Structure 1
Amino acid sequence: MTNDALSYSVTPFVHIRRDLHEIPEIGFQENKTQAYLLDYMNSLSGKHIEVKTWKTGILVRVQGLEPKKTIGYRTDIDGLPVSEESGLSFPSKHEGMMHACGHDFHMSIALGVLTYFSQNQPQDNLLFVFQPAEEGPGGAKPMLESEEFLAWKPDQMIALHIAPELPVGTIATKTGLLFANTSELFIDLKGKGGHAAYPHQANDMVVAASHFVTQLQAIVARNVSPLDSAVVTIGKITGGTKQNIIAENARLEGTIRTLSIEAMERIKSRIENIARGIEESFECNTWIDYGANYCQVYNSEELTESFIHFAKNSPHVTFQSCEKAMTGEDFGYFLEEIPGFMFWLGVESEHGLHSSKLNPNEEAIGCAIRLLIDYLKSE
């Protein structure tokens, strides 16, 4: 335990979290968020800090006193197209948008840690990565490949994600696979519309889409090994224009989650085979778009074990092990190139991630800031 971390005031970052909660923006449109973050960063003292922007993201380099390595800390900054129903006194001011995945928490925690090291120069270099578009279309991969990031490429990368189901002050992670491979799924069908009274003269895409959905549900049960894990979910169906018109068009929107790359490839192959069958059966055309694809989050064994040991001995948090999850996170792209890890931060909310009623406990902000200050100093 370090006395300065324990006594470090985290109250300002609770207020910052509330400010950020009011201005959620979708991926690569986080202009107000970026402006807010830059304005705050400009208020920090310390000649050992350098700031660069990349699209709507930000990179902040903290020069170490006697650096032997550079440690990267990533936070995501975008919101979700969710209409807020949290009942908070500081709700989103952007209609139809909400920080329903806790990225307002993530940003305020990162600013808390950054502020500390702006006042207390670290031994090693630190790189704070404020990444846009985690919720889509995916900001990690292009940011990782950018000239701005490569110029300051760290030797290690770490990140956290809030966990509504865990008590405040609880940290959870594991070595190896933590989050799944994920892919968006969009399927468009086009047939022949017509009058509801003459179905034999049309090719009904509502019926075709319904058959498609039913067949998709057999993929995991019959095409993925029982010893593997996978999910194919259709979350949205649209089709037709009026109750007495046979639908000429339909659209399916969903997601694919797998714990292995092989299962992802197998599922996509089966979806394409089913699409060809639907085209023959219903005399229609289909188009498949996999949208954003996120690779698995795979935690480095050595670094994760070291962090787990540290967390178990920290006065700021309680550690518990966890299982791998079918959650998707584009932080996995950083971990493909740079060793590191991600961990869960308990925030004890009755409602879960992506819920319009998500209400994380703000006491978790201080727990995370103090833990990360001590951890980064120990490294």
Structure 2
Amino acid sequence: MTETQTDTQTKTGFYEKLVAYRRELHTHPELSAKEFATTERIRYWLTEEGVTILDFPLETGLIAEIVGALPGPTIALRADIDALPVKEATGLPFASETEGLMHACGHDYHTASMIGAAILLQGKKASLKGTVRFIFQPAEEIAQGAKWVEESGALKEVSAIFGMHNKPDLPVGTIGIREGGLMASADRFELEIHGVGGHAGIPDSTIDPIVIASQIITGLQTIISRNTSPFHNAVISVTQIHGGNSWNVIPEKVYLEGTVRAFQKEDREKIPELMRRAAEGIASGFGAVADFRWHPYVSIVDNDVRFKAILAETAEEQGYRFVEPKPVAGGEDFAHYQTLIPGFFVFMGVEGTREWHHPEFNLKEEALAVAADYFAALAIKVLDQWKA
């Protein structure tokens, strides 16, 4: 057998291993904070490859590490491991065996790919200039896992962090690299309007919270158009409204709930107060009371410009195409890491069948080897060129 044939066979075996990992994870999805079997599978596969597992106090998820033979900084590569409460409708032979649960966001792909990157880097320890820490993070879908990783101490001594999300509308071999805001902050609000209920035929004896709620909903929309820069991106969406239980009774109160998404930090900071002021002012004008409650959820995925060139260079050197993707208004708790240490998050093309969270979501498994190859090469390049 020639050297080329041996190399091809090795690559084929590596790819088949990643596919097997991904399918095993896909068949056995687990919800956020309940990824116990998933964690043990990851632990087994990494240990089998000689990768060191670190002891951090995480109930699910784990931290692994590859320490190079040469001195240098510690950087982190992150993958999320949880699934969603979605009933799978792909018809795949390795479809979920757990009723009502599915890897409908591709976290099985993220996990298998990063295990692949760890395997590749484990074989290059002798020339590695520093340490690569692998974060297999739980509970991304409920935006808690990154905080738990921080609280565990796993980010200590980490100088920078890198991660990815699959992107169904990008071809395999294409990497979306964008500095600044890539994914939006995602925050939740609640609003209760307290008026005076009464007979629907005698509205003058009431303070109608339904009419007031309608005015507030319309008023909230002007916050974006008149209080944020036309060159910024933000949206306020009221997604629930509840009030009343009879056709001939004006209710005493109305409940509203919704979300705000923003790509600029200054907008995320000022929008809640503008919403409160608008709601309270409109309600007061009608003689009612507005109770506004704000729930911060996920920060902006804000990519550090210092790393853009090295990410693009790595893509080119590995034979992949990079593009500047459009920002996405979905939330991602990788953003929490970026509030603590420099970081960069990319989109990996997977040519998906559907968008994220759809029951028929699937992806091309050729993308596994691309991500593993890319992140291993990126880690080496970052460590080689690191400047404190």
Calculate the TM-score normalised by the size of structure 1.
0.84
1:322, CA displacement in angstroms? 2.7
State whether residues 56 and 154 of structure 2, in contact with CA within 8 Å, keep that contact through their aligned partners in structure 1: no
What SS does the aligned partner of 2:362 have? coil
Deviation at 1:162, TM superposition (A): 0.8
How far did 1:207 drift? 4.5
Amino acid in the other structure paired with 2:339:
E
Cα offset for 1:239? 4.2
Deviation of the 1:247 alpha carbon: 4.7
Kindly indicate whether residue 330 of structure 2 is the aligned counterpart of residue 330 of structure 1. Answer: no
Q: Distance in 2 between matches of 1:249 and 1:354?
A: 34
Matched residues in 1 for 2:82 and 2:251: separation?
36
Q: 2:24 aligns with which of 19, 35, 41?
A: 19
The Cα offsets for residues 104-143 of structure 1, whole Å up to 9 and x where unpaired, read as 2111111222233445536231111122232324332342
Provide the rounded CA distance (Å) in 2 between the counterparts of 1:114 and 1:171.
Answer: 20
Partner of 1:140: 146
Aligned-partner Cα distance in 2 for 1:201–1:166: 59
**What residue number does 2:367 align with?**
364
Partner of 1:376: 379
Name the SS for the 1:167 alignment partner: coil
Cα distance in 1 for residues equivalent to 2:203 and 2:160: 61
In structure 1, the residue matched to 2:137 is 131
- 1:78 equivalent in structure 2: 82
Which residue number in structure 2 is paired with residue 64 of structure 1? 68
Gap change, CA 1:357 and 1:245, over 3 Å in 2: farther
- CA deviation digits over 1:303-349, x for unaligned, max 9? 2211201201213x322233444343222222233223111101112
Paired AA for residue 18 in structure 1: R
1:307-318 matched pairs, under 5 angstroms: 307-315=311-319, 317-318=320-321
CA distance in 1, matches of 2:13, 2:82: 27
8 Å CA contact retained: 2:234, 2:263 = yes
Residues in 1 aligned to 2:245 and 2:100: alpha-carbon distance in whole angstroms: 24
Residue type at the aligned position of 2:265:
I
Partner of 1:299: 303
> What SS class does the counterpart of residue 352 from structure 2 fall into?
coil
Root-mean-square deviation (CA, aligned residues, Å) is: 3.1
Hey, what does 2:3 align to over in structure 1? none
Change (3 A) 1:279 1:37: farther
Q: Residues 213-232 of structure 1: matches in 2 within 5 Å?
A: 213-232=217-236
Point out where structure 2 has 5 or more consecutive residues left out of the alignment. 1-6, 384-388
Change in Cα spacing, 1:62 to 1:50, as seen in structure 2 (3 Å) is farther
1:263: which partner in 2? 267
The residue type equivalent to 2:132 in the other structure is: L
* 1:320 correspondence with 2:326: no
Which moves more between the two structures, 220-229 or 285-294? 285-294
- Displacement of 1:171 in angstroms is 0.7
User: Residues of 1 paired with 2:364 and 2:230: CA distance?
Assistant: 38
* Residues in 2 aligned to 1:263 and 1:249: alpha-carbon distance in whole angstroms: 30
Residue from 30, 49, 54 that aligns with 2:35: 30
1:357-376 Cα deviation digits (max 9, x unpaired): 32222221121112222333
The aligned residue for residue 169 of structure 2 is 165
Distance in 1 between residues matched to 2:93 and 2:16, nearest whole Å: 17
Identical aligned residues as a percent: 32
For the 8 Å contact 2:209–2:253, the answer to whether it is kept is: yes
- 1:340 corresponds to which of 343, 349, 364: 343
Structure-2 change in CA distance of 1:109 and 1:45 (3 Å): closer
Per-residue CA deviations over 1:219-271 (Å, capped at 9, x if unaligned) read: 21222221222111223334445666655554433221222222223321121
Partner of 2:386: none
1:289, distance to aligned residue in structure 2 (A): 3.5
CA separation in 2, counterparts of 1:30 and 1:289?
32
1:136-215 to 2 correspondences below 5 Å: 136-144=142-150, 146-151=151-156, 153-191=157-195, 205-215=209-219
Contact 1:82 1:98 in 2 (8 A): yes
Q: Distance in 1 between matches of 2:372 and 2:51?
A: 22
| Structure 1: gaps spanning 5 or more residues | none
The higher radius of gyration belongs to 2
Give yes or no for contact 2:354–2:361 (8 Å, CA) kept in 1: yes
Paired residues of 2:57 and 2:152 also in contact (CA < 8 A): no
Give how far 1:201 is off: 6.3
Matches of 1:339 and 1:168, distance apart in 2: 27
Change over 3 Å in CA distance of 1:49–1:76 after alignment to 2: closer
Q: For the structure 1 residues 228 and 47, does the alpha-carbon distance in structure 2 shift closer, same or farther, using more than 3 Å as the test?
A: closer
Partner SS for 1:257: strand
Q: Kindly tell me: are residues 13 and 225 of structure 1, through their superposed partners in 2, closer, same or farther at Cα, counting changes over 3 Å?
A: same
Whole-angstrom distance in 1 between the partners of 2:51 and 2:328: 41
Would you say how many aligned residue pairs link Structure 1 and Structure 2?
373
Q: Which moved more, 1:265-274 or 1:281-290?
A: 281-290
Indicate the SS of the match to 1:265: helix
Change in 2 beyond 3 A, CA 1:70/1:86: same
Partner of 1:354: 357
Write the deviation string for residues 171-222 of structure 1: whole angstroms up to 9, x where unpaired.
Answer: 1102333333332233344556667677666665554444332222222122
